Structure 1
Amino acid sequence: MIDDLFDGVEFEESRSPSPFAPTLTRQKSKLEIKCELSVRKQTCNEAEDTHMVTRQPSRRPLARSTSSESVVSLGAEKKATPFPISIDSYRTEKRKSLRKQSDNKKVVRNESVQSVAPPRAATVKEKIGGMMEEIQQQQRVIQQASAALNCCYDAHHGKGSITELEAEKLLLIASEKRLALLAEVQALKSRSVTEPPQTVQPCLGNLTIRNLRLPLRTEYIFSMASKKDCGDIRSHYYFLLVRCGPTRILASHLASTHDSLSGDSLVFSDEFKLVDLESNFDITIEVYSVTHRSRADGVPNQEKSKRKLSGILHKSLTPRKLRSRSHMTMTHTSSPGGPNAIRISSFSLIGAVSINLNDVKSEKFTLQKVPFLSPISGHFACKIEADFQSNVEQRGFLTMFDDVGGLGAWHRRWCALIRGVLFSWTYPDDEKYKEALCKIDLTSCISERIRTVERIMCARPNTFELRTMRPRRHGDKDNLITQDTGSVITTKHWLAADTKDERIAWIESMNQALADVRAWDTNALKPLK
């Protein structure tokens, strides 16, 4: 009966659904309710596991889901929520990102392009190792030269030839180099370790020696001409040995009195260039000589006498004695010590002279240790040129103090310090096209060092001073920057930099240039205290 009453209601609802009609739903069964509750519980458990994994990923592994829907929902949640879940995790990630940025940050300083790191100085052990290798090389040269000289036992094997003299010269040079290296090795082993000085050191320089001439005695020249007319030629061979420092040795070519004379002097066409020298260098030039006799036809006297003696003996000997004589003459001994014996050179020292920076302008020197009967006159002539390698250059604006009508005035100038001379122009472009308005040569500087002017003397900051001296001229008077001291005029130069760093750079550059000029230029004035 109840079913009959509700049959009409279901028909009308399905036929004309109205929003205002009352909604009647069918009740769920117990099985459906259980299934729905289990699905909701499983979903809540998976969401809780995901939250714990996100908070502590290293402590608890990710729980595997048996439902495909939960896996899809988890992947979508990871892609859709890139932000940290809590404020603590946000702060942690922020600190990590800042730490990575600070680690990858590079600091670049505006260093000068011309600033090059100084080369590393070799240690004492490295120097000794290099010298020992050089000693072994010179020992091999000595052995080879001695072996070559041991083979020169007659005229047919080079006895008395120029080749033999060249071998004697090579033997002497190698022996001298070996002795110099051994002495330097012993000095390095016994030398104590010293720290490099902190003061300004002058730069290195170069030295060139050319036009070397060795004057001969007039008596020797006349006697040599008379012996040549008689058919007997007695020649003297010379060469020069230049010692610079403990191990640097240079040699000239062989010059003979027979074919290298120019007037009354023996001329050497060699040119010696010595680089990287200190200002307190000491160079020794040694003269070595050997005597050589020969006939005018080029055959040595020893060979002539041998031929004459062999002819006389050949006539007086019987055939049997002649065979034994010829057999005995076939065996020759190259040297009393055997073919591997070390020989001593036949060249001897006949004169020496020492040269330093003060002798650069001299062209004639007196030889020491010259034998009394030596063909040379005891003098030595050459031309020496010295040049220093000062690379100090500084450019920038400086404000220069000047006297204008008895009043002090400051003028801003573009200045350039080049090879010990300070040039000044009005503008930087004038350096290429115009002459300098003012030149200050550091060779005339009498200041011991260039220092900052005290504020009591000059109120302008970053001001430094240098004093120069020159001969007195007509019309010179005392003013704010010049002072008449009798025969000379002392000038006070005040230069002001723009900043403290520029002042320090200018003072260091000018002090270095001043040290270079005073060390290498003999015309530079000495400092006055």
Structure 2
Amino acid sequence: MVLNEEAAKLQTVINQTLQALSCCTDEDHGRGSLEEAEAEKLLLVSCEKRAAMLAEVSRLRERGVSGELEDAEGDSSMSQQPCRGTVSINSVQLPLKVEFVCSARTQTGRPTHYFFVLIRYGPCNIVATPLATAADAQNGDTISFPTSITLEDIHSNFEIDVEVYSLSHTSGNTCDVDLRSSSRSRITPRKLLSTIKRSNHSVTSSTMPALNTRRTSHFALVGSHKISLASLGQSKFPLDKIKFEGKIRRLLGDEFQEKVPFLSPLEGNIYLRLDSASHSNVQHQGILTMFEVVKGFGAWHRRFFVLEGNHMSYWNHPSDQGSKAAEGSISLFSSSSQSVKPVKRDSCARAYTFDLVSGIQTAQQDDQRALAKCWFSADTREDRGDWMEKLNQVLLDLHTWTHRALNHAGAQPNTRASSGNIRESSL
């Protein structure tokens, strides 16, 4: 299996990285250098990727690929499901505390803290940003990462984990503090940081199979956030901390369970730009009788309709489609309806009628659209069912991927800020 082969390659990378790190015995041999930090990052990312691949292999063995596909098909047959889409993440910005940045700029020598962001979706999409320090905070107190990731053909119930890792050389040698003695003594900043560091190492190692390694990476997870469909249209996300349990929770107290550690240089939030696009590709065509208001009087007219994307265009005759411009079009994007429903006979005597609230544009109106309630009548019950199914699928895709993002952002789709920064500096 491909995943097993990739996991074996990562194991080789892990062993080689551990050998390189074992040579960093003092400052003359790379201790505290950028190269050591890069090796620590490579060790952590490789371990995370390998663990995710092995977990996916185990999951596939337990459930079976064929059984999983049958379950998915059974769920989709029960009701309409939103289409898949594409989500891209870019303009990742990590704010630091102002006092930490000011202090770091006055210090000389090697940096005391290194940071990077890990973005993961599934077992095969784990991307890490480059390492950064306080000196890389070009926008005042904010580190901007050039990394971008595009996830294509994903379900609408996606979950993307954004994790922030930190390496502190000031506390790197204090990771062997005994928790039992710490719980009986007074809490100091050094003991608190070492406790958090040990806990993060244990959480990371407990999620992975035995790697036969002597140690894990010294990078510690200091904050994370889970991106979902509800996150579209937002740019600021709070960083949540690992939920500690047992002795560590009693030692730290409940006040340290929600946000990043109070001694961390992080400000507590992460900023990033989310772009999304739906893969809706619904097409349908046929004859419908549409109720229109002409010179103040309502009348029914038979039209040939073509549904493609988010628009319904119509002509007087099917033969006019290729030779003449459309008589008008109906925008489903501007529709306020969540779904298309049949019209009751006490409201309309014409059989097989359904309604749709949307924006209508005719050949005489140019680019202006008027929001109106449209009535359509099909020739048979089956035709009405087909049209309603197609239209409801388009509306479901729009409200899932596009309208949700617009409601959060209050802007038109695909709009971008004129500046590359999505957060203003405090400095």
Q: Give structure 1 stretches of 5+ with no counterpart.
A: 1-128, 294-339, 471-488
Tell me the secondary structure at the aligned position of residue 111 of structure 2.
Answer: strand
> Which one of the candidate residues 247, 250, 261 is aligned to 2:127?
250
The answer on 1:351 being equivalent to 2:223 is yes
Residue of 342, 361, 375 corresponding to 1:494:
375
Alignment of 1:89-104 (within 5 A): none
**Unpaired runs of 5+ in structure 2?**
171-211, 242-259, 360-369, 408-427
**CA deviation profile, 1:47-78 (whole Å, cap 9, x unmatched):** xxxxxxxxxxxxxxxxxxxxxxxxxxxxxxxx
| 1:220 matched to 2:100 | yes
Contact 1:423 1:437 in 2 (8 A): yes
Q: Matched residues in 1 for 2:131 and 2:388: separation?
A: 52
Query: Does 1:211 find its partner at 2:78?
Result: no
Residue 466 of structure 1 corresponds to: 355
Q: Secondary structure at the match of 1:255?
A: coil
CA contact (8 A) 1:288 1:348 kept: yes
2:50 is the counterpart of 1:178: yes
Matched residues in 2 for 1:174 and 1:150: separation? Answer: 17
CA contact (8 A) 2:84 2:279 kept: yes
Counterparts in 2 of 1:264 and 1:426: CA distance versus 1, 3 Å: farther
Q: Which amino acid aligns with 1:468?
A: V
Is 2:232–2:405's contact at 8 Å kept on the other side of the alignment? no
> Aligned letter for 2:374?
H
What CA RMSD, in Å, does the superposition of the two structures yield over aligned residues? 3.6
How far residue 414 of structure 1 moved from its aligned partner, in angstroms, is 3.6
Residue of structure 2 in register with 1:303 after alignment: none
- With normalisation by structure 1, the TM-score equals 0.54
Change (3 A) 1:242 1:158: same
Q: Distance in 2 between matches of 1:225 and 1:402?
A: 70
Structure 1 residues 205 and 152, CA gap change in structure 2 (3 angstroms): same
1 CA distance for matches of 2:234 and 2:347? 46
Q: Is the 8 A contact 1:398 1:415 kept in 2?
A: yes
Which residue of the partner structure matches residue 102 of structure 1? none
Specify which structure has the bigger relative contact order, considering alpha-carbon pairs within 8 angstroms and separated by 6 or more residues: 2
**Residues in 2 aligned to 1:435 and 1:267: alpha-carbon distance in whole angstroms:** 48
Q: Is the aligned partner of 1:142 residue 2:31?
A: no
Partner secondary structure for residue 222 of structure 1: helix
Asked if 1:522 corresponds to 2:403, the answer is: yes
How far residue 394 of structure 1 moved from its aligned partner, in angstroms, is 2.5
Distance in 1, Cα, partners of 2:297 & 2:48: 68
Matches of 1:238 and 1:522 in 2, distance apart?
35
Quote the residue 2:328 is aligned against.
Answer: 437
Report how many residues are paired: 329
Per the alignment, residue 418 of structure 1 pairs with 308
Report the secondary structure of 1:253's partner residue: coil
1:263 CA displacement = 1.3
Query: For residue 267 of structure 2, what is the amino acid of its counterpart?
Result: S
Counterpart AA for 1:418? E
| TM-aligned CA deviation for residue 157 of structure 1 | 5.3
Mapped partners of 2:405, 2:386: distance in 1: 23
* Maintained 8 Å contact 1:216/1:264: yes
What are the equivalent positions in structure 2 for 1:76-95 lying under 5 Å apart? none
Structure 2 equivalent of residue 196 of structure 1: 74
* Separation in 1, partners of 2:323, 2:16: 59
Q: Which of structures 1 and 2 has the bigger CA Rg? A: 1
Secondary structure of the residue aligned to 1:465 is strand
- 2:39 counterpart (160, 167, 176): 167
Q: Distance in 1 between matches of 2:266 and 2:303?
A: 60
Give the C-alpha shift of residue 342 in structure 1: 4.3
- Percent of aligned pairs sharing the same letter: 40
Which of 388, 412, 423 pairs up with 2:278? 388
1:137 is displaced (CA, Å) by 3.3
2:264 aligned with 1:374, yes or no? Answer: yes
CA shift, 1:358, in A, is 2.1
Aligned equivalent of 2:420: none
Superposition deviation, residue 173 in structure 1: 1.0
Q: Check the 8 A contact 2:33/2:110 in 1, yes or no.
A: no
CA distance in 1, matches of 2:96, 2:406: 40
TM-score of the superposition, structure 2-length normalised?
0.66
3-state secondary structure, aligned to 1:262? coil
3-state SS, counterpart of residue 135 of structure 2:
coil
Q: Please state how far the C-alpha of 1:255 moved relative to its aligned partner.
A: 1.6
Q: Distance in 2 between matches of 1:157 and 1:499?
A: 82
